[in-house]
Amino acid sequence: MSEEKLYAVKNDEGKYFDCEYADFLSLSDAHGPTIVSEDNAKDIARDYGGHVVTLVEEPKKVVVSENEGKAIDSLISAETYSQASESFHYLFASRKKEDIKRIMKAFRNGYTVAKEKKYLVYKELGSKQKDKLFAQAYRSLIHPGTISWDITNEVKSGSWAQFTESEIEKYGLQDCEKEEVTDDGTK
β-strand 16-18 against 23-25: which pairing, if any? antiparallel
Question: What residue type is assigned to position 5 of the chain?
Answer: K
Give me the residues paired with residue 139 across strands. Answer: 147
| Strands 111-113, 62-64: pairing kind | parallel
The confidence score (pLDDT) of residue 1 equals 43
Q: Each residue of 45-75: b (16+ CB within 10 Å) or e?
A: beeeebebbeeeeeeeebebeeebbebbebb
Predicted local confidence at residue 54, as pLDDT = 92
| pTM of structure | 0.47
Could you tell me which residues come within 8 angstroms of residue 113 by beta carbon, excluding any fewer than 6 positions away?
Answer: 63, 64, 65, 66, 69
Give mean pLDDT in consecutive 10-residue pieces for the chain, a chain of 187 residues.
79 92 89 91 94 89 88 90 87 85 90 86 69 78 83 78 86 86 61
Say what the pLDDT of residue 40 is. 94
